[in-house]
Amino acid sequence: MYKKSILNSKKIKQLLFSAVFLMVSVLSLPSFAQEAAPKAEEKFNPKDVILEHVGDSHSWPVFGNVVISLPVILYTDKGLELFSSENIREEEVNGKPEPKIYQGKYYSYTSEHDKIVVVDAVGKVDEAASKKLIDFSITRNVASMWLGMTILLVVFLSMSSAYRKRSGKGPKGVQSVLEPLVMFVRDDVAIPNIGAKYQKFIPLLLTMFFFILINNLLGLVPFFPGGFNLTGNIAVTMVLSVITLVVVNVNGNKYYWKHIFAPDIPLWLYIIMVPVEIIGIISKPFALMIRLFANITAGHIIVLSLISLIFIFKTLWVSPASVLFVVFMDTIELLVAFLQAYIFTMLTALFIGMAVEEHHH
Amino acid sequence: MTGSIAAIGAGLAVIGAGIGIGQIGGKAVEGIARQPEAASKIQTNMIIAAALVEGVALFAVVVAMIG
């Protein structure tokens, strides 16, 4: 702390040397990406790869061919089935993917386009029984959501216990990173929009903000345990917007409902305004859902498409341009991750504020 | 002709988003030029409005993807 210059040249030189050494040593290793004997020239199909990365699946790829098989939990009309998804993962037999059939307690199962269907012993799909199958499996989205929740719980519980132990002293450690964010949500999002009654809603707003933020950010990390697409799953965003819908309408006071069903307008406009307002109750959370889903999914698809350019052209010389584009798009995605969390939280606070505000005139 | 009508629809929707966000950016920059002290407030509001306009354009992209 008492050095004359911040840039300590000896340390910088050591850092630079070790970085260059590591890069050169990696380049000299034999390349593991080539297969032993190339099969018949298959055209790279970017659409399948991208949809597989953006969608959900029953296994979680860790590194190359290493994959974590997540449990499959099925509720059939005869009872509960539980087995590892390794039993039904497709495997390559002579270059052609062959679906495996698993004999469960009640039926036999296989996975067709990543959806579990009931088959008989030969492999013919049994339509009627498949329709009655309810899939409660721990898929990649569920496991990654638990990971995000664990991170949130650990960080915030440790932060709150640190506040209790060091009450009155200045913030230290993770507190100093998160306290500005929490105060930003409180002072710039909750209080201006909700007004005096913000205390009741602050836990919800903070949870929404940090849940969306952490899942967006983890989705941008390219290696395990990141790289999943949770907030780009429309079911997840639907649940978040349903929470907004429920909270806004349960807390709506007399003036809120009066604005919707009996607004202060000339009588002949009622026939237009009242249906529009009623549709507006549903369409505002609907827009929240679509906005978050489309932004995050579109970002992931763009990054994956730009990387697929290398595989489509099959040359190494495309990679500098492609990687540069991808880095640029990823920086924008970082901004979008934070922005979408903020917009979702702010619009929720706005709707809550509209629901609880007192009559002015 | 390769591709589908859905791609044309998505492209048309993006025209609307481009015009909208361009207008927002232009007015915001004008506002900052007139009063540089309010730059950060103007910037915040610009980003919020841009995200809302982009949300509407992404409605159309989602419909194009599903169709």
Q: Does the CB of A343 have a partner CB in chain B at under 8 Å?
A: yes
Residues A284-300, buried b or exposed e (16+ Cβ, 10 A)? bbbbbbbbbbbbbbbbb
Give the structural domain span for A188: 141-356
User: Which residues 10-49 of chain B have a CB within 8 Å of chain A?
Assistant: 47-48
Three-state DSSP at B19 gives helix
Average pLDDT in the A213-240 region? 86
Domain final position from A137, A167, A195: A137
Interchain CB distance below 8 Å, A290 and B51 = no
Evaluate whether A357 touches A258 at the Cβ level (below 8 Å).
no
* A80-84 vs A91-93, strand pairing mode: unpaired
Q: Does the CB of A293 have a partner CB in chain B at under 8 Å?
A: yes
CB < 8 Å to B62, chain A = 290, 293-294
Identify residue B50 by its one-letter amino acid code. A
Provide the 10 A C-beta neighbour count for residue A30: 5
Q: What is the pLDDT of residue A247?
A: 92
CA–CA separation, B67 and B63 (whole Å): 6
Q: Does the CB of A340 have a partner CB in chain B at under 8 Å?
A: yes
Instruction: Quick: pLDDT tens for A22-46.
Output: 655 555 444 444 444 444 456 777 7
If one counts the domains in chain A, the total is 2
Domain final position from A137, A156, A190: A137
pTM, 2 dp: 0.80
* Residue A270 pLDDT class (50, 70, 90 cuts): confident
CA–CA separation, A52 and A60 (whole Å): 11
What residue of A is the nearest CA neighbor of B58?
A: A294
Judgement on whether residues A300 and A195 belong to the same structural domain of the protein: yes
Interchain CB distance below 8 Å, B58 and A294 = yes
Q: What are the backbone dihedrals phi and psi of residue A119, each rounded to the nearest 5 degrees, phi first?
A: -125, 160
Which runs of consecutive H residues, i.e. helices, occur in B1-67?
5-34, 39-66
Judgement on whether residues A146 and A78 belong to the same structural domain of the protein: no
Q: Assess whether pLDDT exceeds 50 at residue A273.
A: yes
CA–CA separation, A162 and A160 (whole Å): 5
Judgement on whether residues A339 and A196 belong to the same structural domain of the protein: yes
Average pLDDT in the A77-87 region? 73
Which of the pair, A132 or A246, is modelled with greater confidence?
A: A246
Average pLDDT in the A320-328 region? 87
Match 């386009």 to its residue by tokens.
Answer: A113
Q: What is the pLDDT of residue A28?
A: 47
DSSP one-letter code for A32: S
Q: Does the CB of A178 have a partner CB in chain B at under 8 Å?
A: no
Domain final position from A137, A172, A190: A137
Instruction: Quick: pLDDT tens for A165-179.
Output: 877 777 777 778 888
Identify residue A149 by its one-letter amino acid code. M
Judgement on whether residues A217 and A268 belong to the same structural domain of the protein: yes
Evaluate whether A217 touches A230 at the Cβ level (below 8 Å).
no
Interchain CB distance below 8 Å, B55 and A346 = no
Alpha-carbon B29 to chain mean position = 15
Q: What are the backbone dihedrals phi and psi of residue A74, each rounded to the nearest 5 degrees, phi first?
A: -120, 140
Instruction: Find the angle CA(A119)-CA(A125)-CA(A127) to the nearest 5 degrees.
Output: 110
**A-B interface: how many C-beta pairs under 8 angstroms?**
30
Token readout for A262 is 């009996």
Judgement on whether residues A94 and A224 belong to the same structural domain of the protein: no
Counting beta carbons within 10 angstroms of the beta carbon of residue A87, is it exposed (0 to 12), middle (13 to 18) or buried (19 or more)? middle
Counting beta carbons within 10 angstroms of the beta carbon of residue A356, is it exposed (0 to 12), middle (13 to 18) or buried (19 or more)? buried
CA–CA separation, B45 and B41 (whole Å): 6
Judgement on whether residues A292 and A343 belong to the same structural domain of the protein: yes
Q: What is the pLDDT of residue A321?
A: 84
User: Considering CB atoms only, which of B48, B61, B62 is closest to A343?
Assistant: B48
Total count of residues recorded for chain A: 361
Q: Assess whether pLDDT exceeds 90 at residue A229.
A: no
CA–CA separation, A234 and A171 (whole Å): 38
Q: What is the pLDDT of residue A176?
A: 81
Three-state DSSP at A147 gives helix
Judgement on whether residues A113 and A255 belong to the same structural domain of the protein: no
* Mean per-residue pLDDT of chain A: 79
What is the ipTM, given to two decimal places? 0.79
* Residue B21 pLDDT class (50, 70, 90 cuts): very high
CB < 8 Å to B45, chain A = none
User: Which residues 294-313 of chain A have a CB within 8 Å of chain B?
Assistant: 294-295, 298
What residue of A is the nearest CA neighbor of B61?
A: A294
Distances (CA, A) of A63 to A37, A69, A317: 21, 13, 25
Q: A296 in a domain, yes or no?
A: yes
* Residue B2 pLDDT class (50, 70, 90 cuts): low
Q: A65 in a domain, yes or no?
A: no
Q: A169 in a domain, yes or no?
A: yes
Q: Assess whether pLDDT exceeds 70 at residue A215.
A: yes
Instruction: Quick: pLDDT tens for A133-161.
Output: 777 888 888 888 898 899 999 988 888 88
Interchain CB distance below 8 Å, B58 and A339 = no
